[in-house]
């Protein structure tokens, strides 16, 4: 910014050099040859001519005296008006002052109105360029993966599943549906993949799980009765049908496989209480679910394990008014050095904040870039209303300090508004 201002000052100074010298010279000229001096010189010449005419007999004495009095009167009149000419120098000096002040001011105002003053904020411009580059890099990476999968012709189920998750995180749900469908076609049945497919398909058909998504959820639960996402979606299907007892039953099973003190458990308990209340059942979950919950101790309860990173995402209270419960939250990890492209991404909603998380290779955006291949990462979180993982102006974000792979207790505070 200082370099720009220096050049601007030089250009304005150069412009003033063309304007001010003529004005200042006019002032000096006005002071060197005055109007009085010119009038006296003319008077003397005319008086000499009258005296010559008198001596030569051209004029009589009376005519000579009359002409001389006329010359003297005119000289006195010119002398009286000479005071007006004396203001020329102050006017010239004032004009030079006005020009010297207004030219830089008007130039600055013109730049503010028609130029790009925001470009002087180097940090903001760099941040905008960085976000734009992240979006471009992510889109380019996803397109390369899609092209590679199409050209290879091999039944790469894992690659198509990763492509589907990438499209889903970008809000490209129709493309995600196609990728998930291809992954299921080219690989063995997978409960998690079926649940992801059902979720994306629901987004395509207007955020409803009725029809094909419901069938996919049932298939997922047959393969893995404890799949958390499938159980959550199954509970939602039952709740939408006003089958509150069944909804509560699905959600209670989730308590058996998630940490008791996790954000997921707290959210599920609230949903269970609502469903049981609508079904006319006691608010407390069945006692039978408690032993299973006590026995369950997944990795998230202990923290991160090798090849993953765990922690918690919180929202700065000062930004709470800018967030709605249904805003999308992306939690991601990227290399501490080098590319800013995400290695793993987890999707939640703002209503779930503060949220505990575990990121691992299963959430990788690309089979070529896995979390476990790096020694240190930076964990970030993005709150977006668009549903896209690519930051846009008005989104909220926060990032952690570099942490080692396997670390637990990583704190991410969402405290910045994307410009």
pLDDT at site 87: 47
Where is average pLDDT lowest: 67-71, 148-152, 248-252?
A: 67-71
Between CA 317 and CA 364, with CA 396 as vertex, the angle to 5 degrees is 120
- Give the pLDDT band (50/70/90) at residue 39: low
How far is 376 from 378, CA to CA, in rounded Å?
Answer: 7
Q: What is the DSSP letter of 288?
A: T
Count of helix runs (H) and strand runs (E) in the chain: 14, 9
Is the distance from CB of 195 to CB of 230 less than 8 angstroms? Answer: yes
Percentage of residues in the chain having pLDDT higher than 70:
64
User: What three-state secondary structure class fits 380?
Assistant: strand
- The answer to the question of residue 89 being in a domain is yes
Residue 9: CB atoms within 10 A of its CB come to 11
Give yes or no for residue 23 having a pLDDT over 90.
no
**Are 294 and 157 members of one domain?**
yes
**Are 86 and 208 members of one domain?**
no
Among the candidates 265, 298, 331, a domain finishes at: 298
- The answer to the question of residue 132 being in a domain is no
Among the candidates 298, 314, 339, a domain finishes at: 298
**Are 368 and 390 members of one domain?**
yes
**Nearest Cα residue to 402 out of 383, 419, 377:** 377
**Average pLDDT of the segment spanning 138-166:** 83
21-25, 150-154, 167-171, 244-248, range with greatest mean pLDDT: 244-248
How far is 162 from 153, CA to CA, in rounded Å?
Answer: 16
**Are 150 and 280 members of one domain?**
yes
**Are 292 and 340 members of one domain?**
no
- The answer to the question of residue 64 being in a domain is yes
Q: Which two tokens stand for residue 108?
A: 């600055």
Give CA torsion, residues 84, 86, 87, 89, to 10 deg: 150
Q: Residue 387 sits in a domain of what CATH number?
A: 2.60.40
- The answer to the question of residue 136 being in a domain is no
The neighbouring-strand residues paired with 380 are: 332, 399
How far is 348 from 366, CA to CA, in rounded Å?
Answer: 20
- Tens of pLDDT along 47-59? 677 677 677 666 6
- Give the pLDDT band (50/70/90) at residue 21: low
* Total residues found in the chain within this entry: 419
How far is 163 from 169, CA to CA, in rounded Å?
Answer: 10
Q: Are strands 376-384 and 416-417 parallel, antiparallel or unpaired?
A: unpaired
**Are 147 and 292 members of one domain?**
yes
- Please indicate, yes or no, whether the overall pTM of this predicted structure exceeds 0.75: no
- The answer to the question of residue 106 being in a domain is yes
**Are 32 and 59 members of one domain?**
yes
**Are 262 and 153 members of one domain?**
yes
pLDDT at site 361: 78
- The answer to the question of residue 129 being in a domain is no
Q: Residue 189 sits in a domain of what CATH number?
A: 1.25.40.10
- The answer to the question of residue 171 being in a domain is yes
**Are 148 and 235 members of one domain?**
yes
Q: Are strands 309-315 and 410-414 parallel, antiparallel or unpaired?
A: parallel
**Are 305 and 292 members of one domain?**
no
How far is 349 from 85, CA to CA, in rounded Å?
Answer: 80
**Are 291 and 147 members of one domain?**
yes
Give yes or no for residue 342 having a pLDDT over 60.
yes
Among the candidates 272, 298, 324, a domain finishes at: 298
- The answer to the question of residue 135 being in a domain is no
The parent domain of residue 393 ranges over 301-417
**Are 317 and 411 members of one domain?**
yes
How far is 300 from 314, CA to CA, in rounded Å?
Answer: 17
The neighbouring-strand residues paired with 246 are: none
The number of folded domains in the chain is 3
């Amino acid at each position: 910014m200082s370099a720009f201002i220096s050049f601007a000052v030089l250009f304005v100074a150069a412009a003033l050099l063309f304007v001010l010298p003529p004005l200042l010279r006019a002032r000096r000229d006005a002071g060197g040859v005055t109007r009085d001096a010119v009038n006296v010189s003319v008077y003397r010449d005319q008086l000499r001519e009258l005296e010559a005419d008198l001596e030569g007999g051209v004029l009589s004495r009376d005519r000579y005296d009359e002409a001389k009095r006329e010359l003297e009167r005119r000289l006195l009149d010119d002398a009286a008006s000479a005071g007006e000419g004396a203001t020329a120098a102050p006017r010239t000096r004032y004009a030079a002052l006005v020009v010297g002040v207004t030219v830089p001011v008007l130039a600055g105002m013109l730049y503010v109105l028609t130029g790009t003053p925001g470009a002087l904020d180097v940090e903001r411009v760099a941040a905008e360029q960085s976000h734009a580059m992240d979006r471009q890099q992510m889109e380019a990476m996803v397109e390369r993966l899609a092209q590679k999968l199409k050209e290879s012709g091999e039944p790469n189920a894992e690659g198509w599943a990763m492509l589907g998750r990438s499209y889903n995180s970008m809000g490209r749900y129709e493309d995600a549906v196609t990728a998930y469908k291809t992954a299921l076609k080219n690989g063995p049945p997978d409960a998690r993949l079926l649940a992801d497919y059902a979720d994306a398909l629901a987004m395509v058909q207007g955020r409803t799980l009725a029809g094909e998504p419901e069938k996919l959820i049932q298939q997922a639960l047959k393969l893995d009765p404890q799949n958390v996402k499938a159980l959550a979606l199954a509970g939602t299907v039952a709740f939408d049908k006003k089958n509150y007892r069944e909804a509560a039953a699905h959600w209670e099973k989730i308590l058996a496989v998630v940490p008791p003190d996790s954000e997921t458990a707290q959210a599920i308990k609230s949903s269970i209480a609502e469903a049981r209340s609508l079904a006319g059942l006691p608010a407390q979950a069945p006692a039978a679910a408690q032993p299973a919950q006590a026995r369950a101790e997944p990795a998230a309860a202990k923290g991160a394990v090798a090849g993953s990173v765990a922690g918690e995402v919180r929202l700065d209270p000062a930004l709470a008014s800018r967030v709605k419960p249904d805003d999308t939250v992306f939690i991601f990890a990227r290399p501490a050095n080098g590319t800013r492209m995400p290695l793993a991404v987890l999707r939640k909603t703002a209503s779930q904040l503060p949220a505990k998380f575990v990121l691992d290779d299963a959430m990788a955006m690309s089979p070529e870039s896995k979390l476990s291949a790096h020694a240190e990462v930076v964990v970030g979180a993005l709150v977006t209303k668009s549903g896209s993982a690519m930051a846009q102006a008005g989104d909220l974000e926060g990032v952690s300090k570099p942490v080692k792979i396997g670390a637990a207790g990583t704190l991410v505070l969402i405290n910045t508004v994307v410009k």
